[in-house]
Amino acid sequence: MLCIVEQLGTIDYAAGLALQHERVAARKAGAIPDTLLLLEHPDVYTLGRNAHRENVLASPAFLKSRGAEVFETDRGGDVTYHGPGQLVGYPILDLTEHRRDIAWFMRSLEEVFIRVAADYGFEAGRVPGATGVWVGNEKLVAMGVHVSRWVTSHGFAFNVNTDLRYFDWIVPCGLRGKGVVSIEKLLGQRADMADAAERVIHHFGEVFGLEMSQRSPQLSGAVADV
């Protein structure tokens, strides 16, 4: 099966959300194949359906003074941060063509990044009861999804060169006593974002059994001709 990859660069969260909605509608209609959107967001905090406001430790005014927006979303999970140096991925997959099993989808997403971490020489894994990918007690990849008529949206946030100080102002994913980590921190030097994206694309196709085809992004609302 084919999966279209759109690498979008840096776009604000609202624009990314609108683009997801367009792609989800097109996928439900059968107008496009499975699609993976890869991008970076300017500084933003997002609250999932199960978010607790007390897990945002700073006031909205303080966060705004640091240039960060706050959005409520329809994904699963609690509060998290997105920003420059973090590779965000929105897989828009029709699970009726894979497995109608959300737990399988989440474990498969985690497997993608366990393999990506291994590429960099690090052993990553899962923590029972805490979705995502971890290196020890520190989260490398946060995940939260939404599924409608078995079509997925939202997805993952992979800390490549992320400024981890922004996590100090929240309880990431509502999990107290656990940290966050990036590839940069693990390596002791900045990682190449383009290389990180290629590793993710490769392992995403491998894990989900998809042929990954990169196309020019369509940001105007038009759907790519596939």
pLDDT grade, residue 222 (50/70/90)? Answer: very low
Residue 33 · residue 94 · CB < 8 Å: no
Looking at this protein, which amino acid is placed at residue 86?
A: Q
Cα–Cα distance for residue pair 134/113, rounded to 1 Å:
9
Q: For residue 222, how many C-alpha atoms fall within 13 Å in the half-sphere facing its CB?
A: 7
Band of residue 80 on the pLDDT scale cut at 50, 70, 90: confident
Task: Judge whether 47 and 79 are in contact, CB under 8 Å.
Answer: yes
Rounded to two decimals, the pTM is 0.91
User: What DSSP character marks residue 161?
Assistant: S
pLDDT bin (cut points 50, 70, 90) of residue 175 is: low
Calculate mean pLDDT across residues 37-63.
87
Task: Report the CATH fold assignment for 2-215.
Answer: BirA Bifunctional Protein; domain 2 (3.30.930)
Q: For residues 207 and 202, what is the distance between their CA atoms, to the nearest angstrom? A: 9
The per-residue pLDDT for range 23-36, each reduced to its tens digit, is 999 999 999 999 99
* Per-residue pLDDT, 149: 97
Give the separation between CA 56 and CA 63, rounded to whole angstroms. 10
Catalytic residues: 173
pLDDT at position 169 is 82
126-162, pLDDT tens digit by residue?
A: 998 889 999 999 999 999 999 999 999 999 999 999 9
Looking from the CA of 186 toward its CB, the CA atoms found within 13 Å total: 23
Beta strand extents in 93-162 (DSSP E only): 125-127, 130-135, 138-148, 151-159
Spell out the domain ranges in the chain. 2-215
Query: Is residue 10 over pLDDT 70?
Result: yes
Burial tier of 217 (Cβ tally within 10 Å: 0-12, 13-18, 19+): middle
